[in-house]
A and B are shown apart, each in its own frame.
Chain A
Amino acid sequence: MIAAQHIDFDAIVIGSGITGGWAAKELTEKGLRVLVLDRGKNIRHGTDYLGEHAPDWKAPFQDKPDRELFAREYPLQSKNYAFSEFNRQFWNNDRDNPYISNPEKPFEWFRADAVGGRSLLWGRQSYRWSEQDFKSNSDDGNGIPWPIGYTDLAPWYSHVEKFAGISGQAEGWPELPDSEFLPPMNSFALERTIKQRLAKKAPDLRMTIGRSAVLTRDHNGRSACHYCGPCHRGCSTGSYFSSQSATLPAARATGNLTLKSDAVVERLIYDEQSGKITAVQVIDANSGERHSYSARLFFLCASTVATTQLLLNSGSDKFPNGLANHSGALGQHLMDHLESTPVVGIFLDDMDRYYFGNRPNGSYIPRFRNLPGQDADSEFLRGYGFQANVLRANWKMAYNQKGFGADLKDALRKPGFWIWALTGFGECLPRPSNRIALDHSKLDRFGIPQVSIEFDWSDNEQAMWKDMNQQSARIMKAAGAVFYQGMGDTNTAIGGGAIHEMGTARMGNDPAQSVLNAHNQAHDVANLFVTDGSCMTSSSCVNPSLTYMALTARACDYASKQLAAGAI
């Protein structure tokens, strides 16, 4: 039996990651009483960042991976660069929370399991979409047109940037609009050397310091970065933006926030008479008890795959194919960015220069292919950017050398050559065959049907990979690499690997082709809003989180006004 708790909230936000945190902040600050539900464990900001600043010698096996444990319980999550014993508590346990990936068309779902979600773990790179990004679908006929353009979102970019704090350099480039910036981080000597060379030998390229949600000065009660290095262990000074460091504390400060962790939302309850969602049904992850919570407004911010799963699992007589799915678009058009293998270049410049501190940020070469009026002969649509990172080789990259004794020790303790690595991130076309469905024959430990995901790359992305390969080679040569290891001509990326999954409940003006309208409101259900990555109509090639933030804040503004006007 369902033990109903008759608590009414103005709004319920499902998920506490990047978008859930923003929805909580915006809605509570507008005076709404908000319940935030997260299926993950409760992590307290700072207090529970147990691995923060912990040295290697305290870690099990001195930070050699716990292979047995990882293979048994985290076979997928442990493949991620940010996964380690120092932050394992933030990650999804793959054994406890399985999903189905078609081996022929595999998809990797990297997933958090903690309040704050992947905002604790994200790469913090923050870029605005350009005007062209919003027009790409209508220009080349793939997917459906966006219902909004850059000018609709620009003020909301500013709104979220001013609060979150984005460090970067204003450049005035139309293909990469500037944010409201905090001062940029300093550069490596090698980056300046490379930038000068590129200006001469590849003048069509632009390069700027990474735009990062890491503070370069104290901002809104959070401290400037102390450059300890591994952000993804959590940051008790709140120097990188996360729900934990920024939006949830702001929401809490209003007195209007109720947050429940370990709360697995099983389904949304649709009322045919009113045509609205009336409640959510929640399973306590620890006790298994079921509760339902009622509200007037519902924001889905659970991340692309989980939000889609929840909508598909909330079907009814009115919506046999999933809630708010009269269009049939729900679950389709799954996208991720085409992330290349890193192209690693070795440099012998500036060998007598070094660095102090660990900069949690790289530099960025924005899209330079298929910009308006160029590359008419290219063999692919849309474009890609390169994220570039500097490393100085140390013992970890040379321990398998020959020799013994004082000479070996000396060689190992001293820095080696410089490395500059390029990673391409390419725009992915929206296609119905890349999709998320429910498998009713496989239930999870809560009795909820598991999601089954199919994803492969289109011919366009295959051609884009080849172009990335050629262009990265050109860039490495122009930059002055003495040697580089290319990415190869064959696409080896696996969908989900860029952790930029999006698109399965897309926005659009046409209710027959899209799930959400121009305000992230479900066409079919007036009090349902979806603002995580699932709302995306196309994918651009820049990191998406900043756009999710802006869309969320914009949708909250609209929803609260509609609510006040009695339209919801």
Chain B
Amino acid sequence: MSRAAATRLGEAWARSERMVGRRIGDEYVLVPLAGRGADLDSILNLNRVAAFVWEQLDGERSGGEVVEALLERFDVERARAEQDYLELIDTLVEVDAVAPVKRRG
């Protein structure tokens, strides 16, 4: 793992209050409230793993801790879990769905 990736795994992220996650039937969707009414075009569909990660983003747990939880819950290799986690965080940052809280070294 690169140093940059390791640093990023030390960060904690919090779900934005302007983004609501809901499990509806077989799917899990993120709906941006955007403060001015929701927008049908910008909802995100999360798979099971992504939905699990989303629910862990409480502003307390670091990326490393979330990855540990992923490893406990799903049958996946650490490297793959870390990569998936970081990619998901990038996607969520792009749509302002999460915000960094603090660094834990």
Do chains A and B stick together as partners? no
Residues of B with Cβ closer than 8 Å to A?
A: none
Residues of A with Cβ closer than 8 Å to B?
A: none
